[in-house]
Chain A
Amino acid sequence: GQQVMQIPQYQHVQEGEDFTTYCNSSTTLSNIQWYKQRPGGHPVFLIQLVKSGEVKKQKRLTFQFGEAKKNSSLHITATQTTDVGTYFCAGQKAGTASKLTFGTGTRLQVTL
């Protein structure tokens, strides 16, 4: 079946440092979504990427979708303590309109 892996599993940074999480799918995706889950909370949608090579920015967050539509990345510039949480990518395969396969997640810890 479809697998979506993320690396690293965990990263601890000091506030102000940058952070990147990488997402790799075993199959080609029609789109990829990113979610953030705060400790004790539920996943919250951040963004969706659809086009090959697409890059989108949300303030300090930059999202990329690979040319082959099998990988993606999320980069956070100058992390803040409010960025703490687990970041999930979630891939949708062509022909599976309502099914998302979530990545393994990257837990980000930010300290002062």
Chain B
Amino acid sequence: DTAVSQTPKYLVTQMGNDKSIKCEQNLGHDTMYWYKQDSKKFLKIMFSYNNKELIINETVPNRFSPKSPDKAHLNLHINSLELGDSAVYFCASLGETQYFGPGTRLTVL
């Protein structure tokens, strides 16, 4: 069983569109994250939720809106996609360490 899963794995879309990425963890963890990894492999935290409450909100454009319907799920909605949003987005959950999902490669054309 996959501990942290993300859908979709790949997402190709046009500039200006709105898209969502979903994340689910079956580890029973309270805290989940979204990270963005750019083409240079820099991993930057975007958001963190603890038991459905936002606890970390880094300097991210407000086009990005996370939503946590329950503590096992953390989704990321992106409005008005821009070229610079192209990256791999990783979801992670926190137990004794951070467990990462497989990533979603977003390409904005």
Interface of B is mostly: strand
Closest Cβ neighbor of A40 among chain B residues: B103
Taking a contact as CB atoms under 8 Å apart, the answer to whether B31 and A88 are in contact is no
The answer for the CA separation of A86 and B101 in the assembled complex, in Å, is 17
Looking at the assembled complex, report how far the CB atom of A102 sits from the nearest CB atom of chain B, in whole angstroms.
4
Chain A's interface: helix, strand, loop or mixed, by majority?
A: strand
Q: Say whether, besides A42-B103, A98-B31, A33 and B97 are in contact (CB < 8 Å).
A: yes
Query: Are B100 and A44 touching (Cβ within 8 A)?
Result: yes
Residues of chain B within 8 A of A88, CB atoms compared? 43
Q: How many A-B residue pairs have CB under 8 A?
A: 44
User: Is A43 within 8 A of B100, CB to CB?
Assistant: yes
- Size range of the chain A interface in the assembly: 10 to 19
A78 at the interface (CB under 8 A from B): no
- Asked if A86 and B41 make an inter-chain contact with CB atoms under 8 angstroms apart, the answer reads yes
Bound-complex Cα distance A37 to B55 (A): 26
Chain A interface: which of B44-52, B68-76, B77-85? B44-52
Which B residues lie at the A interface, using CB under 8 A?
Answer: 31, 35, 41-45, 48, 50, 55-56, 90, 94, 96-103
- Which positions in A face B, CB cutoff 8 Å? 33, 37, 41-45, 48, 86, 88, 90, 98-102, 104-105, 107
